[in-house]
Amino acid sequence: MKEKVIRPWKPEDLPALREIWKAGFHDPEEDIDAFYRLFLREDGCLVAETEGKPVSAEYIVSGVYHLPDGKTPVSTSYLYALSTLPEYRGCRIGLKLQSAALDQALSVSDSATLVPSEPSLIPVYLRERRFRPLSRLREARVTKESLPDSSPLEAARLTAAAYAKLRETALTGLPHSVYPQTWYELSETYGTSYWRAGRALMAAYVQDGRCVVSELLACGEDWKEALIPMTERIPASVYLVRTPLFQDGPGEERVFSLGSFRAADQIIPQDFWFPFSLE
């Protein structure tokens, strides 16, 4: 195989970028269109090219962390949707591209973040020694039958703007990632809806017959009582529920996202809350 070239994307790469994306994620055209419309900027994507053909791509999205105790917000670049054409996999093209994207991210941000598409990829990234665990959360598979029969709470759907405002109020002083409005717009395009049950807040979407509650902030409510009315609003065979470590919740603790920091001594609390991955 000829030498691989890592370079910024160009408008004429768009057909190749779509092909690479579909090879990795099989998303419908409207989802890809929404991401490109909201996030694809001049410096927002790197491609790996061999023999004059783009064969791998990764996207770079800006974001912000809020740390506890009034510390200065930390800028980040979210590394997203790394994919390589099947016939070019196994040649470390993706890892080379990942390293270049990380270099670019750390040249403009305090940190870089990624959410591995599968938990099995976490040790692969950690072996590269440029990332370390960023956030941990609780994750559990819950069925309706495992919950109490009833709840005094009712689930009310929220607009993304209302949810974002309530979310920031609930997370004041807690270590968490802040999402721009475009992030919520894309998540809604991908099928995410936003809810409140009592004081609890939830973001949820349906995938492969299950409901992923990608964020459940109980805010003083019992998480079970908050989830019960959601099982009526979004019927599913199982609910994959993610809750932060700083509140009560179901399931086992797991590493969810990885980070790399320009300052080697940057300290991020282990209960840092980064639940969305633009899934």
Mean pLDDT for 19-39 is: 92
Would you kindly state where each structural domain of the chain is located, as residue ranges?
A: 4-114, 137-253
- The Cα 108–Cα 60 span in angstroms is 11
pLDDT confidence band for 31 (50 / 70 / 90): very high
Residue 220 pLDDT exceeds 70: yes
39-98 pLDDT per residue, tens: 999 999 999 999 889 999 999 999 999 988 777 789 999 999 999 999 998 888 988 999
CB 88 within 8 A of CB 72: no
pLDDT confidence band for 2 (50 / 70 / 90): low
Indicate the pairing of strand 193-197 with strand 200-207: antiparallel
SS3 150: coil
For the full predicted model, state whether its pTM sits above 0.85.
yes
CATH code reported for the domain at 4-114: 3.40.630.30
pLDDT confidence band for 278 (50 / 70 / 90): confident
Q: Say yes or no: do domains 4-114 and 137-253 share a fold.
A: yes
Q: What is the secondary structure of 157-179 as a DSSP string? A: EE-HHHHHHHHHHHTTTS-EEE-
Query: Among the CATH numbers 3.40.630.30, 3.30.70.20, 3.40.190.10, 1.10.3720.10, which is that of 137-253?
Result: 3.40.630.30
Q: What is the pLDDT of residue 207?
A: 87
188-202 burial: b if 16+ Cβ within 10 Å, else e: bbbebbbbbbbebbb
Mean pLDDT for 236-243 is: 96
pLDDT confidence band for 177 (50 / 70 / 90): very high
Residue 128 pLDDT exceeds 80: no
- The Cα 102–Cα 97 span in angstroms is 9
Q: What is the pLDDT of residue 120?
A: 86
Q: What is the pLDDT of residue 191?
A: 92
Residue 123 pLDDT exceeds 60: yes
Q: What is the pLDDT of residue 90?
A: 83
147-175 pLDDT per residue, tens: 999 999 999 999 999 999 999 999 999 99
Q: What is the secondary structure of 201-231 as a DSSP string? A: EEEEEEETTEEEEEEEE-TTS-HHHHHHHHH
Q: What is the pLDDT of residue 1?
A: 52
